Amino acid sequence: MEKTMSALLGIMIAGLLATGTAPDMRVDARDLAMDRPGHALALAERIQQASRSWCARYRGVLTPNDVCMPSVCEHEMKRRAFYQLPRDQRRLFVQAGGRRALNRP
């Protein structure tokens, strides 16, 4: 049974910051289905790009003690994005190698 990301939320929201001084990081996943070959890797790439862009602008909000180390912010935003996936989609994402791709620098 094919499940598309649009059936879930359409947009994955990740940057749930308590301070509210930075916008949420958004990753468009409407065209992806984690049960299709290559889609998990495509989502991992989108999350990586979004975390780089978001952290380039707002890392002082998320990681004020590590402003000179963008990788700290990027890692945290990738982690948050991963856990915003619904549990069944997270499982498929991991099985398809998406988590491994997401953890690459």
The pLDDT of residue 43: 96
pLDDT at 20: 53
Quick one: pLDDT at residue 81? Answer: 94
Residue 38 to residue 22: CA distance in whole angstroms: 31
pTM as predicted? 0.76
What CA–CA distance (Å, rounded) separates 35 from 76? 25
**Do residues 46 and 5 touch, judged by C-beta distance below 8 A?**
no
Report the candidate in 102, 105, 103, 104 with the shortest Cα–Cα distance to residue 44.
102
CB 32 within 8 A of CB 5: yes
Output the pLDDT for position 53: 93
Mean pLDDT per 10-residue interval, the chain, length 105 residues = 41 42 85 90 96 88 76 89 93 94 88
Neighbouring-strand partners of residue 28? 11
